[in-house]
Amino acid sequence: MIVVRGLLKKYVLNASGPNDSNLSELETIAKSDSAAVMMKSCTIKPREGNQEPRYKRLPLGAIQSMGLPNEGYEKYVEYSSILKKYNKPVIASVAGFNADEYVALVKAFQNSDADLVEVNLSCPNIEGKSQVAYDFEQMEKILGRIENLGNKPIGLKLPAYLDLAHHKKAAEIILKHNVSFITCINSIGNTLVIDYEAAGPVIKTNGGLGGLCGDYIKPIALANVRVFYELLQDKIFIFGVGGIKSGTDAYEFLLAGADAVQVATVFEKEGPNCFERINNELNEILKRKNLTIESARGKLKNSKSLLIKQEK
């Protein structure tokens, strides 16, 4: 965690998802006020992704079923070298369809110029594929194979857990393995938004089911960050994600225990200026309260501990 914390000079960066698929988009992020350059979750082979329409803006966020469109991992290995000239941390994000692919992807980026490797165990919109992070046996097997492939810190991009028993099991697995950070949460999968005039779903793939993003998921994201902050006992760096569009939102995630936050929906809507705006708004809040990132992190008042004592 110390290694990850030392890499980031600011609190807000982009999440893997929108506007980070090609070199031009990644260089736009690199030139912005983003704390790092998070690359697109990549697969072994290039993917076109799901059929259109697959992304729909909503009043309080978006619903999407992108299907991991990306240029294939070899391109992002190449991009990681090019992006180093911007003197900003580069984070690879990888998504495999089986354990062997996860091994190949992590190994490739361990031998690249990327600084961190985010392992996406939570993509909710690949048809016919379950989320590894909901299958704890599979999750542990994959971690056992990828945790010691190199010296670069690896982390896990996690889905929303809605049961404390699941949080506890995930935390137990994470603490057993060589995991340096977690990213929570990914968009919430299998949600449905209907266009009542057309009498059909607003996106086409998978019967209209897709991942919900933005303001809609913020309370769930905050809860996941808070629970993992307590269960992981400050041993694992936490990226908070979900509905962050202002300095106030970022401050709430800071209070919940997030070491940094990633933004996606607001970045897609507003463009790269959102990073500077949110960072400035957060700094104004901290200045007004005479706080720092370090002194405010995890300091949620009147919050009874969710930790349950372990049996001896």
Predicted pLDDT at 74: 98
Predicted pLDDT at 114: 98
- Is 213 catalytic? The answer is no
pLDDT in tens, 263-272: 999 999 999 9
Catalytic residue among 123, 184, 213, 274: 123
The residue ranges of every structural domain in the chain are 2-50+67-189+215-296
| pLDDT < 70 stretches in the chain | 1-2, 124-129, 306-312
Model pTM? 0.95
Predicted pLDDT at 310: 44
Predicted pLDDT at 312: 36
Q: Are 93 and 41 in contact, with CB atoms under 8 Å apart?
A: yes
Name the fold adopted by 2-50+67-189+215-296: TIM Barrel (3.20.20)
Predicted pLDDT at 159: 96
Predicted pLDDT at 306: 66
Residue 132 dihedral angles phi and psi, to the nearest 5°: -60, -40
Task: Return d(Cα 87, Cα 144) in angstroms, integer.
Answer: 32
SS3 breakdown of the chain: % helix, strand, coil, rounded to 5?
Answer: 40, 20, 40
pLDDT in tens, 114-168: 999 999 999 754 555 678 999 999 999 999 999 999 999 999 999 999 999 999 9
Please report, for residues 52, 186, 281, the alpha-carbon distance to residue 107 in angstroms, rounded to integers and kept in the order given: 33, 23, 38
Burial class (CB in 10 A: 0-12, 13-18, 19+), 292: exposed
Considering just the CA atoms, what is the radius of gyration of the chain in Å? Answer: 18
DSSP strand pairing (61-64 vs 90-94): unpaired
Predicted pLDDT at 303: 72
pLDDT in tens, 9-24: 999 999 999 999 999 9
